[in-house]
Every structure is written in C-alpha cells, then in structure tokens.
C-alpha cells in the first residue's frame, strides 16, 4: 500500500463515508478509494458525463437509514438505490453464477440485470441513458425503481441465490423490512 496521509474531515463527511461502508472490514481509505478513484475509472452514462464531478456518490440523495442484511451481516447503504446495488454485489460476490441466473428473470418491460444498458429497458430503451448503471464489469442494472420494485426484485434475487428473503436476506429502511 502507498504511504498513508492523515487528513481532517468534518462530521458530515465522516457520516457520508460511514453510509457508504459495505462491510465492517472495509477501511475508510477503501471506501474513499471506491467512491473517488475507482468511480472515475468506470464508464459513465451521458447524463453523468454532462454533470461530471469526482464526488458523485457522496452527493447522491440520502433518505432514511438503509441496511442490507445477508446471513446476519449488516451493511449500511446511503439510499434505496445503494441498498439494491449492495445486495446485488454481495450475492454476486458469494456466487459468480448469480448474475447470469438473475438475468434470466425479468419484468414485463424490463430486465433486472443485463450485459448492456440497452438490454435492460426492452420496452423503454430511452431510459437506459439516465437509469442504467454498471454493477460490475460486463453487467448493468436498473436504478429507476420504487421501493416496491426493489422489494420485489430483492425477493427474486434471494430466491435465485438459494436464500430466503426475510430470514437470510433483507433490505431494511429505518430497521423495517421492505
């Protein structure tokens, strides 16, 4: 690891870092690297490119206290979109066959995950520019979702991964299951 430098941050910035924490094993440096350095290396949608900022994740809307719980481990999330993304990343990390299996599931007009932004929005391709985000290399997911839609998709994701929603997997808003 490169030499570390101590910096001073205010309480609001510290809270933003903690909201972005995915696990207790992740250091503050790991979180900032993911949010600032690795984020810059990811492909961006046309909308993000127009509103370019190196702190895109830190300025995203925060509403409520979101938590993803998988087999008893709780992971903080900044908002509903971040909770859904965290869930997908954790399930993919536990089983690399999860995303291909989850890609077989789809709604009436949208896929849950796809290998390209255009494949996500079968019925409304114009939404891809603003609402498709890269999850991991080669996989994209939809961020234009209501709480009800995320809840439904989280249940399907749990089933696909062989877990029981509500027992082994949950997304919580203010410690209440969605």
Residue ranges covered by each domain of the chain: 11-177
Give the model's pLDDT for residue 40. 57
pLDDT over 70 percentage in the chain: 84
Residue 139 has pLDDT above 90, yes or no: yes
Measured distance CA(41)–CA(49) in Å, rounded = 12
Give the model's pLDDT for residue 48. 46
State both tokens at 70: 């998988």
The separation between CA 134 and the C-alpha centre of its own chain, rounded to angstroms, equals 9
State both tokens at 138: 């080669």
147-175, pLDDT tens digit by residue? 999 999 999 999 999 999 999 999 998 87
62-115, pLDDT tens digit by residue? 456 899 999 999 998 889 999 999 999 999 999 999 999 999 998 888 899 999
Residue 53 has pLDDT above 60, yes or no: no
CB 68 within 8 A of CB 75: yes
Using a cut of 0.75, tell me whether the model's pTM lies above it: no
Write the CATH number of the domain with boundaries 11-177: 1.20.1380
Q: Which residue has the higher pLDDT, 120 or 25?
A: 120
CB 133 within 8 A of CB 143: yes
Give the model's pLDDT for residue 92. 96
Give the model's pLDDT for residue 63. 54
CB 106 within 8 A of CB 112: yes
Average pLDDT, the chain: 83
pLDDT bucket at 125, cuts 50 / 70 / 90: confident
Asked which of 5-19, 41-55, 111-125, 150-164 is least confident by mean pLDDT, the reply is 41-55
φ, ψ (nearest 5 deg) of residue 169: -140, 135
């Amino acid at each position: 690891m490169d030499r570390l430098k101590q910096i001073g941050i205010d309480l609001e910035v510290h809270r933003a870092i903690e909201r972005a924490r995915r696990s207790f094993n992740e250091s503050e440096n790991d979180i900032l690297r993911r949010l600032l350095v690795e984020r810059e290396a990811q492909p961006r949608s046309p909308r993000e490119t127009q509103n370019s900022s190196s702190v895109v994740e830190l300025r995203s809307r925060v509403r409520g206290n979101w938590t993803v719980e998988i087999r008893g481990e709780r992971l903080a999330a900044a908002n509903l979109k971040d909770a859904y993304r965290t869930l997908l990343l954790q399930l993919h990390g536990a089983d690399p066959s999860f995303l291909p299996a989850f890609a077989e599931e789809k709604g009436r007009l949208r896929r849950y995950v796809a290998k390209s932004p255009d494949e996500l929005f079968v019925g409304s391709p114009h939404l891809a520019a603003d609402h498709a985000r890269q999850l991991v290399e080669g996989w994209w997911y939809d961020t234009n979702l209501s709480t009800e839609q995320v809840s439904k998709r989280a249940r399907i994701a749990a089933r696909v991964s062989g877990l029981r929603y509500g027992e082994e997997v949950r997304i919580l808003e203010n410690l209440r299951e969605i």
